[in-house]
Amino acid sequence: MTAADVLAALADFQDPETGRNAVQQQQIRDVEVSGNDVRLTLALTSHSAPLKSETAQEVEKQLRAKLPGIGAVEVRHAEHDRPPLPLGEIGLMAKSVIAVGSGKGGVGKSTIASGIAYGLLRAGCKVGLLDADIYGPSIPHLLGLRGKAELTEQKKIQPHELEGLKVMSIGFMVEPDQPVILRGPMLHGAIHQMLRDTAWGPLDYLIIDMPPGTGDIALSLSQILPLTGAVVVCTPQDVALLDAVKAVAMFRRVNIPVLGMVENMSYFLCPDNGKRYDIFGTGGAKRKAEELKVPFLGEVPINIQIRVNGDEGKIAGNFSNAETAPHFEGVVAALARQLRETMRTNRPLPTLSILK
Ligand SMILES: Nc1ncnc2c1ncn2[C@@H]1O[C@H](COP(=O)(O)OP(=O)(O)OP(=O)(O)O)[C@@H](O)[C@H]1O
Ligand SMILES: [Mg+2]
């Protein structure tokens, strides 16, 4: 077995970010063969960071399937640098822009949106979080971020930062107890400006926390830049599901693909007796997702700690608590997998038979 055999065995291996051939993109590097043992470097972009170990396992699986008799396989990791291209007219430098919304208020959009953003950051991605809830910005409170936004030397708005997560909200531009009074059309301008004038820097992901209700902001967003997709949050109860169905239809209407549904407040595990209570019913979102042919990205139970962390502005707490962490991490991983699926199916590898 030679290094060339190893590369040939991985000839159709796809980069999870682009769906393009990883060997051709020089993302499979430094192949060393000694006897039957193989060592190689897998270089992924920071956009693919949540799928790092999974992708390494897939590399090993493919090698074992194609090279019978192969011995130990060691996959080392390296970072592959591929900067984002400017998006839309405003030239936002982000690879994936994902809106998190629902039809209904109070179902946990902001909690899930900030959880997704923070989870991606923890995995090693470059992430921005935009609070698009102009009338009721709750991201500053949920993340414990205070103070007015400053202007940079280039006259851009400096986002607040939480461990490197770049956060922008209208809450950083008004006094916390003052209402934002804007007419409908001015909403569009506010969103446009926060997207365009914030010093985001290059991002792997921009997560947008949507306000409840009508499609105003979704429509504005879809006009300003191409969104990668939307995540719809709902609770298992019938009224919330009805609104979620509308939200899915609304995103589809403005040509924002729905990447998946998250069921929040799925059940309550009583800390006293360990008993599970399905307060709003359970499993409804999963069934609805199947009906709507939308991927289901996971469920998050009702947990007192999630509420306390929200009130205290400690998003990190949801990732350090043994009961809540797997749920948040599960949603982040499912979302990353879903994006990879989109790439695999939407951008099939161009195969030129003369190169075979
Ligand atoms: N799984 C959960 N367990 C316990 N509390 C939760 C959970 N999810 C959200 N909460 C709490 O419920 C409240 C509403 O959540 P959040 O602000 O995320 O909802 P929202 O859908 O963004 O609301 P709005 O429609 O007002 O924007 C917050 O106090 C939050 O801490
Ligand atoms: Mg909210």
Q: 79, 105, 129 — which closes off a domain? A: 79
Q: Which residues contact 24 (CB under 8 A, 6 or more apart)?
A: none
Cα–Cα distance for residue pair 252/131, rounded to 1 Å? 21
Which run of H or of E encompasses 243?
Answer: helix 238-253
Which atom of ligand 1 is the closest one to the Cα of 104? Answer: 25
- Residue 252 and residue 294 in contact, taking contact as beta carbons nearer than 8 Å: no
Cα–Cα distance for residue pair 336/328, rounded to 1 Å? 13
* CA atoms within 13 Å, Cβ hemisphere of 335: 34
**Cα 178 to averaged position of ligand 2 atoms, centre (Å):** 17
**Cα 156 to averaged position of ligand 2 atoms, centre (Å):** 25
Q: What sign results for the dihedral spanned by CA atoms 60, 65, 66, 67?
A: positive
Which residue bears the tokens 């949920």? 142
* Residues having C-beta closer than 5 Å to ion ligand 2: 109-110, 138
Check whether residue 228 and residue 114 sit in a common domain. yes
Ligand that lies nearest to the alpha carbon of residue 107, given by its number in the listed order: 1
Alpha-carbon distance values, 254 to 38, 59, 229 (Å): 48, 38, 11
| Nearest residue to 349 via CA among 5, 84, 15, 7 | 15
Residue minimizing CA distance to atom 15 of ligand 1? 108
Amino acid 356: pLDDT? 41
**Cα 110 to averaged position of ligand 1 atoms, centre (Å):** 7
> Is residue 38 scored above 50 in pLDDT?
yes
**Cα 270 to averaged position of ligand 1 atoms, centre (Å):** 19
Token pair recorded at residue 229: 């997709």
Check whether residue 211 and residue 135 sit in a common domain. yes
Amino acid 304: pLDDT? 95
Task: Give the range of the structural domain holding residue 174, as residue numbers without chain letter.
Answer: 86-345
Residue 40 counted as domain residue = yes
Decide which of 289 and 348 is more confident.
289
Bridge partners (DSSP) of residue 165 are 162
**Cα 156 to averaged position of ligand 1 atoms, centre (Å):** 31
Check whether residue 166 and residue 45 sit in a common domain. no
Cα–Cα distance for residue pair 219/214, rounded to 1 Å? 9
Residue 353 counted as domain residue = no
Name the band, by pLDDT with cuts 50, 70 and 90, for residue 346.
low
Q: What sign results for the dihedral spanned by CA atoms 184, 187, 192, 195?
A: negative
Check whether residue 105 and residue 52 sit in a common domain. no
Amino acid 350: pLDDT? 47
Residue 292 counted as domain residue = yes
Which atom of ligand 1 is the closest one to the Cα of 303? Answer: 3
The count of structural domains within the chain is 2
- Ligand 1 pocket: which of 100, 102, 109, 111 to mutate (most atoms <8 Å of CB)? 111
- Extended beta strands in 239-334, E state: 258-269, 276-277, 296-302
How many residues would you count in the chain? 356
Residues 301-315 have pLDDT tens digits of 999 999 999 999 999
Residue 42 counted as domain residue = yes
Cα–Cα distance for residue pair 144/126, rounded to 1 Å? 20
Q: 50, 79, 108 — which closes off a domain? A: 79
**Cα 112 to averaged position of ligand 2 atoms, centre (Å):** 9
Alpha-carbon distance values, 325 to 9, 67, 161, 329 (Å): 37, 38, 22, 6
Residue 352 counted as domain residue = no
Token pair recorded at residue 74: 């060691």
Check whether residue 127 and residue 46 sit in a common domain. no
Residues 83-129 have pLDDT tens digits of 999 998 899 999 999 999 998 889 999 999 999 999 999 999 999 99
Check whether residue 288 and residue 194 sit in a common domain. yes
Amino acid 355: pLDDT? 45
**Cα 338 to averaged position of ligand 2 atoms, centre (Å):** 24
Instruction: Write down the number of H helices and E strands in the chain.
Output: 11, 13
- Ligand 1 pocket: which of 100, 104, 110 to mutate (most atoms <8 Å of CB)? 110
Residues 67-77 have pLDDT tens digits of 999 999 999 99
**Cα 50 to averaged position of ligand 1 atoms, centre (Å):** 25
Amino acid 348: pLDDT? 47
- Residue 38 and residue 72 in contact, taking contact as beta carbons nearer than 8 Å: yes
Check whether residue 73 and residue 123 sit in a common domain. no
| Helix, strand or coil, per DSSP, at residue 203 | strand
- Residue 97 and residue 203 in contact, taking contact as beta carbons nearer than 8 Å: no
Check whether residue 130 and residue 185 sit in a common domain. yes
CATH number where 18 lies = 3.30.300.130
CATH number where 341 lies = 3.40.50.300
| Helix, strand or coil, per DSSP, at residue 108 | coil
Residue 54 counted as domain residue = yes
Residue 270 counted as domain residue = yes
Check whether residue 133 and residue 256 sit in a common domain. yes
Check whether residue 64 and residue 182 sit in a common domain. no
Check whether residue 71 and residue 200 sit in a common domain. no
Check whether residue 155 and residue 232 sit in a common domain. yes
Which atom of ligand 1 is the closest one to the Cα of 105? Answer: 25
Residues 212-259 have pLDDT tens digits of 877 889 999 999 999 999 999 999 888 888 888 999 999 999 999 999
Residue 350 counted as domain residue = no
Instruction: Name every protein residue with a CB atom under 6 angstroms from any ligand 1 atom.
Output: 105-111, 133, 136, 138, 212, 264-265, 300, 302-303, 306-307, 310
- Residue 169 and residue 117 in contact, taking contact as beta carbons nearer than 8 Å: no
Bridge partners (DSSP) of residue 258 are 230
Residue minimizing CA distance to atom 11 of ligand 1? 307
Mean pLDDT of 139-165: 95
| Helix, strand or coil, per DSSP, at residue 120 | helix
Name the band, by pLDDT with cuts 50, 70 and 90, for residue 179.
confident
Q: 79, 106, 141 — which closes off a domain? A: 79
